[in-house]
Amino acid sequence: MGDPQLQVIPPVKVSGTIVRDRNDRVLRFDAVHEISSESEDADRFSGAREALSGLKTLTNGWLDGQGVALLPVAVDNADRFLTALAGQQAQEPRVYPTPEGGVQFE
């Protein structure tokens, strides 16, 4: 079991300025401009997130013998994009795989 004193909290969005080292790793926040709950925004696009999750099961050859399985970096970037988009006044996008292993939104 986990540490009984640890609490799980909903995700938050932190907007600010960060300092990176030479290897592009984050060292620290230099300034925080905004902190907000992501749970409300993330729920707005639950259908798109569900579709994205389903696309993770695609294997090589999913498109009539062609088509590459989704690349993990594409899934991560798509999820980040949905999170950012959910905070805007945008409609929920439709999510599609691309033959090259990427994700397309419409």
List of E strands, 1-106:
12-20, 26-37, 95-97, 103-105
pLDDT for residue 35 is more than 80: no
Question: How many H-runs (helices) and E-runs (strands) does the chain carry?
Answer: 3, 4
- Position 1 in a domain: no
- Please give the average per-residue pLDDT across 70-99, as a whole number: 88
**What pLDDT sits at residue 101?**
93
- Position 24 in a domain: no
- Position 59 in a domain: yes
pLDDT per position as a tens digit, 17-27: 889 999 989 89
- Position 27 in a domain: no
Band (38; pLDDT cuts 50, 70, 90)? low
pLDDT for residue 39 is more than 60: no
Question: Into how many domains does the chain fold?
Answer: 1
* Nearest-angstrom CA–CA distance, 10 and 29: 20
* Nearest-angstrom CA–CA distance, 67 and 50: 21
- Position 88 in a domain: yes
- Position 4 in a domain: no
- Residue 49 near residue 60 (C-beta atoms within 8 A): no
pTM higher than the cut 0.95: no
- Residue 96 near residue 54 (C-beta atoms within 8 A): no
- Position 43 in a domain: yes
Q: Give the residue numbers spanning the domain of 93.
A: 39-105
- Please give the average per-residue pLDDT across 47-70, as a whole number: 93
Average pLDDT, the chain: 84
Q: Which residues contact 56 (CB under 8 A, 6 or more apart)?
A: 70, 75
